[in-house]
A and B are shown apart, each in its own frame.
Chain A
Amino acid sequence: MIWDPYYECMDPEQRAELQVRRLRETVARLNVSVPWYRDRFADRGIGPEDIKSLDDLRHLPFTTKDDLRDTYPFGLFAVPPEECVRIHASSGTTGKPIIGGYTREDINSVWAETIARTIACGGGTSHDVLHNAYGYGLFTGGLGLHYGGELMGCLVIPASGGNTERQLMLMEDLGSTILCCTPSYALTIADTAADLGIDPDRLKLKSGIFGAEVWSEGARESIEERLGLSAHDIYGLTEVIGPGVAGECEAKAGLHVFDDHFIPEIIDPDSGEPLPPGEAGELVFTCITKRAFPLIRFRTRDISRLQYGKCECGRTHPRMERITGRTDDMLIIRGVNVFPSQIEEVLLQIEEVEPHYQLVLTREGRLDNLEVQVEVSPAMFSDEVRKLEAIEEKIRERLSSSLGIRVGVKLVEPKSIERSIGKAKRVIDMREEA
């Protein structure tokens, strides 16, 4: 089923006209309501009247994660915060998070709408029981899928994360047909089901909407086989709106970018120049329908490529390839975005700690494990085990509360972490592709 055939199967030229009109309106609105954008438009001598075709997009300024940090919390809001009804947040590169604001219209007409399209891409209809195991809270996953599922008319089970055995009981008892969670959690659910002797046939799952992590074709096959469902990718980010920026249909030939709301571009990350269709580069999004927080040319740092042309499913949206990498050092650990700079900031606030540290990522079973190795400094050293353990515990607590994930801390000998000239090698990622 296609949720909104009018927009999703629109003739590309007609859609381009719609995009230009919406882009011009957005630029006009930002020019009035967001001084930060007004200054940047003025610097480039560009105004809404200059936007005549999609090619003119390239004349608009980029927005980066650093810009969001500098304007935190409300500097890029296009409406007063009191006109918003919701805030979501994700990790920034330092202690302050990235926050996104939503008006009621943003949630109902843009976000829930694009999520409903994504659920439909995954074969969902109003008759489905949607088991939503994305975390509910500041993270966009839980509430995003929740509102989209309700808009579609699904019976939504707001399970959130954790307690896998109970999740399986609910899925079996309530007859869940669609599972929404991170791909690694889907594998955990499959493991737990196997441990409990629950055969996939006892579950009614037919489809899964999995995202917030980078995953592989191998992981897809494993999830599909072990849970007896068809696994679909979903893409999104808090800065743009959350999940539902793009979704994968049954053709599984890339994710449809809902570009009547979010115009995608692929640029050369070094020069900033747009790249021809089909070439790999950094994904950039411009929001053209949002009220509260419409970013212009937001640089995602995700590497992908775009393919244009009608899909066999009938949709005419461009399709983005599964994310293949990042242009920065962001890590995704258990679905949570983590920047090494966040970790460094926390460590430097602890007086005994010197800035010699290393991050080691491993996978234990299905779960990512982050170990922060910190060199023992003279100020930290004690001949008593409990004092060293107390420092370990202090580092662990501060990191865990700042990052929002459990972190292991290991004290290591001085100089044992490789010193390098220039950029230190801070991250050792030993996770095999899921």
Chain B
Amino acid sequence: MTASDLLSKQVSVFLENKSGRLAEVCQALGRSEINIRALCIADTSDFGILRLIVDRPDEAVEVLQSAGFSVGSTGVLALRIPDRPGGLGEVLDRLQEVDVNVEYMYAFFITIAGDAVVLFKIDDAALDATLNVLDGAGIQVIPSDEVYRL
């Protein structure tokens, strides 16, 4: 399995901080029967960036672009994290040991067999090192095609 199979496509949308914009994104996706699986919003006082994991990311990008949004697509890793106290901390420790910086992360709403699913944005340059350390530590990366079906 190549790194690109392991990277899930996250759809990012630029939003001004004004009412109704988030709803418009969701409506546009809903009309195209695209299902949102996970999301997070990073915001400043002026603007926000909505990050979405959806079942059909390429279509979502097209739908949102044609609805006039600034849209990007970014590769993120979906990791299975034991759903218990300290579970996430252990994974972060491993990444810390090899100086991998997590740019941001957020979690899925659902779990897989008792494991939480957490999405990590890692600097592209550190991707191979990250995959190595995860592999060595037995932390499972969920392939992208599975992520979209979650």
Interface residues of A (CB under 8 A from B): 376-378, 381-385, 388-389, 392, 410-416
The reply to whether A416 and B44 form a contact with Cβ atoms under 8 Å apart is no
Interface-centre pick from B10, B49, B51 (highest chain A CB count, 10 A): B49
Q: Which residues of B contact A389 (CB under 8 A)?
A: 44
Question: Nearest CB to that of B43 among chain A residues?
Answer: A385
Q: Could you list 28 examples of A-B contacts with CB < 8 Å? A: A381-B14, A382-B12, A383-B12, A383-B51, A383-B72, A383-B121, A384-B42, A384-B49, A384-B103, A385-B42, A385-B43, A385-B49, A388-B47, A388-B49, A410-B46, A410-B47, A411-B47, A412-B16, A412-B47, A413-B14, A413-B15, A413-B16, A413-B68, A413-B69, A413-B70, A414-B68, A414-B69, A415-B68
Extra A-B contacts (7), CB below 8 Å, given A376-B14, A413-B14:
A383-B10, A384-B103, A384-B121, A410-B46, A411-B16, A413-B15, A414-B70
Most buried by B among A378, A381, A389: A381
* Interface residue from A381, A410, A411, A413 paired with B21 (Cβ < 8 Å): A413
Complex alpha-carbon distance, A416 and B14, angstroms: 12
Is the pair A382, B72 in contact by a Cβ cutoff of 8 Å?
yes
Q: Residue-by-residue, is B51-83 near A (CB-CB < 8 Å gives 1, otherwise 0)?
A: 100000000000000001111101000000000
Summarize A's interface: helix, strand, loop or mixed: loop
For chain B, give the interface size range.
Answer: 20 to 34
CB distance from A359 to the nearest CB of B (A): 16
A395 CB, nearest partner CB in chain B, Å: 12
**In the docked arrangement, what's the CA distance between A381 and B47, Å?**
12
Q: Choose among B16, B21, B46, B49 the residue that contacts A383 (Cβ–Cβ < 8 A).
A: B49
CA distance A22 to B10 in the complex (A): 75
Task: Provide the bound-state CA to CA distance between A378 and B69, in Å.
Answer: 10
Q: How far is the CA of A383 from the CA of B12 in the complex (A)?
A: 6
> What residue in chain B is nearest A378 (Cβ atoms)?
B70
What's the Cα separation between A228 and B43 when bound, in Å? 47
Contact partners of A410 in chain B: CB under 8 A: 46-47
Interface residues of B in 36-52 (CB under 8 A from A): 42-44, 46-47, 49, 51
Cα A258 to Cα B68 with chains together (Å): 57
Closest CB-CB distance, B39 to chain A, in whole Å? Answer: 12
**Which chain A positions have C-beta within 8 A of B70?**
376-378, 381, 413-414
Given A376-B70, A381-B71, A383-B51, also A411-B103 (CB < 8 A): no
> How far in angstroms is the closest Cβ of chain A from B120?
13
Chain B positions within 8 Å of A412 at CB level = 16, 47
Most buried by B among A383, A388, A411: A383
Distance A429 CA – B51 CA, assembled complex (angstroms) = 35
- Give CA–CA (A411, B104) in the complex, Å: 21
Chain A residue at smallest Cβ distance from B11: A383
Closest 9 pairs between A and B when the two form their complex, measured CB to CB: A383-B12, A376-B70, A381-B70, A383-B74, A385-B42, A376-B14, A415-B68, A381-B72, A410-B46
